[in-house]
Amino acid sequence: MSFSTSGTFRPVILDDIRGAQKMLAGVARMTAMEGSRHLSQLVGAPVHLKCENLQRTGSFKLRGAYVRISGLSPVERAAGVVAASAGNHAQGVALASSLLGVRSTVFMPMGAPLPKVAATSEYGAEVRLHGQVIDETLAAAQEYAHETGAVFIHPFDHPDIIAGQGTVGLEILEQCPEVRTIVVGIGGGGLAAGIAVAVKAVRPDVKLIGVQAEGAAAYPPSLAAGHPVSIDAPSTMADGIKVGCPGDVPFKIIGDLIDEVRTVSEDELSSALLLCLERAKLVVEPAGASPVAALLSDPRSFKGPVVALLSGGNVDPLLMQRILRHGMAAAGRYLSLRLRLTDRPGALAALLGSLSVVDANVLDVSHVRTDPRLGLTEAEVELQLETKGPEHCELVAATLRDAGYTVMS
């Protein structure tokens, strides 16, 4: 579609995305657009959630992968394709290749979650585990492409990928024609770039806000410099947007068309994921929850109606468990306390009785009596409590102090 015979890229335009939409008919679902009463109340305007977490393979990635592989020549298809990914792109390439009858090999890191490895294999790809970090996995995939002639399918840095992802933007305009603001997570930039091309061509008045995790925010310094800038050791729970350097192709589009790029903290990401689960009944991965995190961080700064794009829902159950604990702590629903009391029979029971009065649920208790820092008649207790929010946390701590306990933390 957007790759010229000379081997140079030409810009992605609206016609490319409309062509991709026709190509994806019967392949990618038009995912649901769900209203959120809770977020609407916070923002002061209607908020809708575009649920790409309910897309086939659990994310938007199928769209771009299918369009990219569809555009290969017969000779290229015969050579097969190869990709490197820890999850969503892997599954998108695997399913797209199977649907098109193309052999696929997907390199994944050694520590990739088992459910994602299994899903990629079940979609039809040959999975090869290589490397401890994604950079090592990527290098192995590119070496494989060089040795075998297989076509390397980049997760975001190709116009056909961008055109495929841009079909999400066309759906948003169709499902919510009154939209004034669209919020989308940004990793390498393929999704945001595609949406920007589609939306700005039809509705230039719509504000587009990109969201990155604070620990993996390569776009703000890159946009300030005017060219892609790499950041060292990106770190975030949001694997789907954990990219150390913007792609050359999406960077130009985002620089021209995205109105603003914001960053969100790990606490905000985990709180957003928890909100999606509790209020919207939607399983969303941290990257997919990043637009909701942005809404939570500064709700009154968005003009509505707002569409927040939930880009994916592929989250490992063990990671989900850790994130939910983190999210509940960030929301003031968990409270950790360390305090000292007199070491005598019944002292611990009295402490727990004080907690029951304020309706704090005890999750864990650690009772230390032999630490050399303690006095002869002292004991130290660490408590993990389930609470009802920040005000309840303050009430619990104040009640314990009023009862004469020395609260250390």
Q: For the sheet with 306-310, list strands across it.
A: 33-35, 47-51, 306-310, 181-185, 207-213, 260-264
Find the mean pLDDT for residues 222-226: 96
pLDDT at residue 214 is higher than 90: yes
pLDDT over 70 (residue 371): no
The Cα–Cα gap between 315 and 334 comes to 22
pLDDT in tens, 261-304: 999 999 899 899 989 998 999 999 999 999 999 999 999 999 99
**Residue 5 pLDDT > 50:** no
With 80 as the cut, is the pLDDT of residue 343 above it?
no
Q: DSSP letters of 324-358?
A: HHHHHHHTT-EEEEEEEEE-STTHHHHHHHHHHHT
The catalytic residues are 61, 311
Q: Is the confidence at residue 3, as pLDDT, over 80?
A: no
CA distances from residue 312 to 55, 141, 231, 349 in whole angstroms, order as listed: 8, 24, 24, 46
pLDDT, residue 372, reads 65
Q: 172 with 179: CB under 8 angstroms? A: yes
Q: Is the pLDDT of residue 395 over 80?
A: yes
- 49 and 282 Cβ atoms separated by less than 8 Å: yes
CB count, 10 Å around CB of 177?
Answer: 10
- State mean pLDDT over 364-368: 75
- Encode pLDDT of 147-191 as tens digits: 999 999 999 999 999 999 999 999 999 999 999 999 999 999 999
Which ranges of 176-265 does DSSP label H, i.e. alpha helix? 190-202, 219-225, 248-257
What mean pLDDT, rounded, does the chain reach?
90
Residue 149 sits at φ, ψ, to 5 deg, of 85, 0
CA–CA distance, 197 with 293 (Å, rounded to integer)? 24
pLDDT of residue 9: 67
For residue 396, what are its two tokens? 């619990």
